[in-house]
Structure formats: structure tokens, C-alpha cells
Structure 1
Amino acid sequence: MPPIAPDGPRRVLPVTGYTLALSWSPEFCKPREGQRAHRVQCSGDNGRFGMVVHGLWPEGARTWPQWCPSDASPNPARVRAQLCISPSARLVARQWAKHGSCMTRRPETYLNITRILWRSLRTPDYDRISREDDLTAGLIRKAFAEANRGWEAEHIGVRLNARGWLEELRLCYGPRFRPAPCDPRRFGAQDSAPAKIWRGL
């Protein structure tokens, strides 16, 4: 497993909810297609990814817990099984060390919860949606909510980059892993914000 070093302060805080961050892989890979570090996700050797799991993040009342003390590390075989939804061993190891360690004592539990949440979701056809005229962050939210029973637009954060391209969905959960309204930090772009979705062509 790749070594992971903290890049910020340790914050051990009560958990008030969770965010499941889903990255739009074509946008992530656009400048990284030839990079060895991102070969699994971006080379095309393993097919083309759409939405992938960036991470499952515990949230606190005003900020988020991170880098909680733990001597545990993910089992390489379990990480390998996770690569279909999070196609980078370094990413999986980092998400456990930074976020999962603040949720549970065992990496396997963190990975299992992440997979259960992922499997409960349906990803809209964002390739088709990308071709719609006058696409906005609100339409991206609406498409996800319509594809997933129990989800409303207020539960879905949309992160666009500075040029308006979709980077990530941030799905907001309450403490019992039920969809919950996003706070402004996680909600991201307003519904009226113009948006574009890179299809990887």
C-alpha cells in the first residue's frame, strides 16, 4: 500500500453527517491521461469510467473531522476490490487515513459502507445530458434526483471548476445515512449556474 502522510491538522470531532463525493472521471482524466500515477483510471486500458467514488467523508457541525489517530491500514486485497469504484490505490488509502479513520476503527468497515452507498445509487446518463442546450447545475441535480428515489435537489451538491465543467457530485447524508439537505459549503454551484460536462472525446 502506498504510504500516506497527513497534509493538514488532526481534528477529532463528533460526526453529524456524511458526504459521498463522486468525481466525474472524464473531466479528472482530461489533463492526466498520460500520467503513470493515474494509469488505472485514465489510460483507457480498463475501459472508460464515468462517475467514480472520490471518498466518503464524515462531517462535523462547523468543519469536518480528519486524520484521526489509527494504526490500521487497508488490506491490499480489499483495496484491489475497491478499484472498480475508486480506481486508485493511493486514493483509497488516503481516503481511509484522512476520513475513514474518523468514522470507524476498521478500514474494512469504511470500505464496506462506501460500497453499500455506491451500490444503492443509479447514475443518470450524463453523456446524453451533456448534449442538452442551456445545461445548468440545477439540471445536473434534477437528473440525479429523478434517477434515485428518495433524493431531492437540496441533497445534491454540484462542484464545477472555474470554467464551468462538472467536476464532482457531493451527496449529503444525515447521521443515519439518509439523504439530507446540503449546507452551503457542500451544495456548491447554484441551480442557475451554467454547466458543461466533458464526455472524454
Structure 2
Amino acid sequence: MTARAAWLAIAGLMLLAPHAAGAQAYQCRMPERLSPLPPVKRPANEPRRVLPVTGYTLALSWSPEFCKGREDDARQRLQCSRDHGEFGFVLHGLWPEASGPRYPQYCAAQPARVPQSVVRSLLCDMPSPRLIEHQWLKHGSCMARDPASYFRVSTTVYRATRIPDMERLSRRPLTYGMLRRAFAQANPGMQPDTIAIKANARGWLQEVRICLGRNLKPNACPRHVRQPRGDTMIKIWRGL
């Protein structure tokens, strides 16, 4: 069985399992029609890298921090204008990993475009058509033969992830270690060492990344994923 076939077989089993609703979009109401995007291309300085997949990373972007200062940016209007809903964690992507710090990317020489029907179905999870196209081109093409399969599994893993009470966490002194433990406590089978946190230079939360094994279950993050000490302080912007 090929790596892609094995991944899809595991994904099929996950789709049959019960999971928690990933209610991270409040009153999501996307437009009926989307303007078509020009093709998203591989940057000239980004090589194709076809490597054996040893695990995955689920990347969750904290939307209030991303949207700070982008509320009037036409390119981010679906996510940040509040005209189409308000968002907590949105799906940044499900990324393949390999042994060591280099990861597979841009694996398909001529990847298919993401169908508009698939884009529409994803917008309450990933409120950016350009991000959707980019994730398929860079990451999904290394994991599945078609965009629908890749995003079906990505959203299943995302929606199965329980989110701790971010409102409560944002109102107290908080450390990296405390935030990792909060995610682990909310998700059976997850441990603090399976969670990596990304903050900006000012110490505000940007992203939570969950390390997964080849079976798409939480797995200890590899050693090259370096993190600040657990007692390092971090802040959460609520978008107010």
C-alpha cells in the first residue's frame, strides 16, 4: 500500500468516528458567489521536495490576532471584516512532515485547481480562498491525489479538536506551558509535548500547532520543533 493510500485509509476510519463540533466560526455567512482567483503558483525560490511522510502538523491560526489591523484589508475581508462572521481558531492547514527539519512541499508537478464547490464548503473553516489554494498546492499535493480528499481529512481533524475556553484563558496571566496543558486537558490522548505554540514578537498568540503521527493521532513534537520555556508568558488578543 502506498503512503497516500495508507493515509486515505486512516482518514476514512476517522470520518466514521464521532467527534466534537469545531464551532470556531460565529454566525458564519459567506457570499453566494466568489470571484475566481488567478492560479496560485509555486514561488521561484521554493523547490519541489518529495520526501517520505513520517507525520503531520495541524496548524490552527488565532483569527483575532491575525485580523488586528486587517479589518479593512480587501484581501482579508471574508475573515476580518466581520461582515461574514467572527472567527476564533481557523484552519491554517494540515501539513506533511518528514524526518528532520525539512518537510515535503509542492509535490505535484501539475496539481489540479481546487474546485469552487470545495472552496465554498471550506470557507467557515478556512475563510480565505487564496489560503485554500495555497495549502493544496504546497502541502495537500504531497498527501492526496485530489483537493477534495485532502480538505475532507483536514477539516475532519480540525473539527475533532476541542478548543479550551479561550475567553477565560485570555483574562488571566498565562504561560506557554499553561496553554499547552489547557489544550491537552480538552483533548483526550493529547499531551503538552504534542502541542507547539507560536507567538509574535510582542508575545501575542498567533497559532497553535498540534503534532500528529502517521495515524493522524497526537504524537510528541520532534526535537527540531523548538519552543520557549514553559514559564514564558503569552497573551491572547480577543479582538475587542
Q: TM-score, normalised by structure 2?
A: 0.81
Alignment pair present for 1:155 and 2:194: yes
1:18 and 1:172 in contact (8 A); partners too: yes
Identical residues among aligned pairs (%): 50
Q: Residue by residue, what CA displacement relative to the aligned partner does 1:25-56 show, whole Å, maximum 9, x if unpaired? A: 00000021110000000001122100000011
Q: 1:141-152 residue pairs with structure 2 within 5 A? A: 141-152=180-191
Query: Residue 117 of structure 1 aligns with which residue?
Result: 157
In 2, Cα distance between equivalents of 1:19 and 1:140: 18
1:154 and 1:182 in contact (8 A); partners too: yes
SS of match in other structure, 1:159 = strand
Q: 1:20-99 residue pairs with structure 2 within 5 A? A: 20-62=58-100, 63-69=102-108, 70-99=110-139
Equivalent residue for 1:166, pick from 190, 198, 205 = 205
What is the count of residue pairs matched by the alignment? 200
In 2, Cα distance between equivalents of 1:167 and 1:32: 14
Alignment pair present for 1:6 and 2:55: no
SS of match in other structure, 1:123 = coil
Equivalent residue for 1:181, pick from 212, 220, 224 = 220
Q: Tell me how large the CA RMSD over aligned residues is.
A: 1.2
Q: Residue by residue, what CA displacement relative to the aligned partner does 1:100-141 show, whole Å, maximum 9, x if unpaired? A: 0001111111000011101211111112101012x1111111
SS of match in other structure, 1:55 = strand
SS of match in other structure, 2:114 = coil
| Consecutive unaligned residues in structure 2, runs of 5 or more | 1-35
In 1, Cα distance between equivalents of 2:224 and 2:86: 30
Q: TM-score, normalised by structure 1?
A: 0.96
SS of match in other structure, 1:34 = coil
Amino acid at match of 1:36: A
